[in-house]
Chain A
Amino acid sequence: MSEFSLKIDGKDVAASDDMTILEAAQSAGIAIPTVCHHEKLEPFGGCRLCTVEAEAGGRTSLVAACIYPAQKDMAVKTRTPQIDKIRKVLTEQLLAYAPESEVLRGLAREYHADKDRFPKEPSFCILCGLCVRYCAEVKQKSAVGFVERGPNREISFVPEIAAKECWDCKECFPLCPTSALQAAYVLTRSLTSFKSTAQPEAGKQAATNTVPQ
């Protein structure tokens, strides 16, 4: 593992070759917005809000900071008019799915995004995959996963696993940037509760805890 330095927003930042641009920036206290990133999880590169301008070997390109490896003598810019515009449009698109999300509303203020630019399709899920990846990588239960594809893609709990594992865990709930997961969870519980008579008390308790905001 070699140590080197690169420039981020004109500042010299020390990094090693197992670090991404995002990690290097965070170690130097430079903020890059992210929605699908979580430090305990493998990089995903789903939301693209961490897009930055990276110059290496005389070439400039727009890359996702959370998955792009830091390189020696690279020059990174985290705020340019072009990047701001990309983040603005991405935020506007995500807001069409989750208009009430606090995380997205914060980004909208920062990048002057118009929350009503695109017609609303409130699925309340922006498919960041945080719950799916957290369940698979950290908890290793895979109780929740993606189903379908393209515009029909959504998250879905596997009832057999969810009935066993989710009552006492629910660690994916606070990760959700839109609070959509609670709704999905309640739906699955309502589908499975009539089958599982094992823990009626736990089920009742969970029902009061998981009302979506």
Chain B
Amino acid sequence: MDSSVIERIIDKHHGEAGSLIQILLDIQNELRWLPGAALEMVAEKLQVPMSRIQHTVTFYKAFSLVPKGRHEINLCMGTACHVRGATRILEMIETVTGLQPGETDADMKFSLDTVNCLGCCAIGPVMEIDEQHLGKLVPDRTAALLKKYD
């Protein structure tokens, strides 16, 4: 881990304890996870107890304490997507990637997670890969879409 990255992010927020969540989010975006050493640096620089940082990072799903793959898949399992067949899309993604929700593959290509609503029910079933929304999914096309990522 490059500690200058963490230092730059903390400096950007003037090292204020009140900006804890923003700082953690920036680190998460930069490294795609929150390594223990990074949390220790944040605790020391912001003078925030480690127990509070643990409380915060385990509370919000946006934070990850394990490394994430290069491409993060968030499949919507909300009501609208569910009735339009999100379960079958999930089965297809599981077959293609070999992942269960919450897992990352060994070569760090994909991380798969399910979410409860992405907020664009009109184009359901929908998934999000690297913050790009892919809607009106059918199992066949989902498999083809996933093959485009490397």
Contact = CB atoms under 8 A, between A and B. Distances in A.
Interface of A: 132, 135-136, 141-149, 156, 158, 160-161
A127 to B, nearest CB: 12
Interface stretch (B11-19, B52-60, B79-87, B119-127): B52-60
Interface in B21-63: 49-52, 54-55, 58-59
Nearest to B60: A149
B59 A143 contact: no
A158 B51 contact: yes
B58 A142 contact: no
Contacts of B52: 142, 145
A146 B52 CA distance: 8
27 contacts: A132-B51, A135-B51, A136-B49, A136-B51, A142-B49, A142-B50, A142-B51, A143-B51, A144-B51, A145-B49, A145-B50, A145-B51, A145-B52, A145-B54, A145-B55, A146-B51, A147-B55, A148-B58, A148-B59, A149-B59, A156-B51, A156-B54, A158-B50, A160-B50, A161-B49, A161-B50, A161-B51
A149 B60 CA distance: 8
Smallest CB-CB A-B distances: 5 pairs: A145-B51, A142-B49, A147-B58, A142-B51, A158-B50
Contacts of A146: 51, 55
Given A145-B49, A149-B59, A158-B51, 17 more contacts: A132-B51, A135-B51, A142-B49, A142-B51, A145-B50, A145-B54, A145-B55, A146-B51, A146-B55, A147-B54, A147-B55, A147-B58, A148-B59, A158-B50, A160-B50, A161-B50, A161-B51
Nearest to B36: A160
B58 to A, nearest CB: 4
Contacts of B55: 145-147
Contacts of A142: 49-52
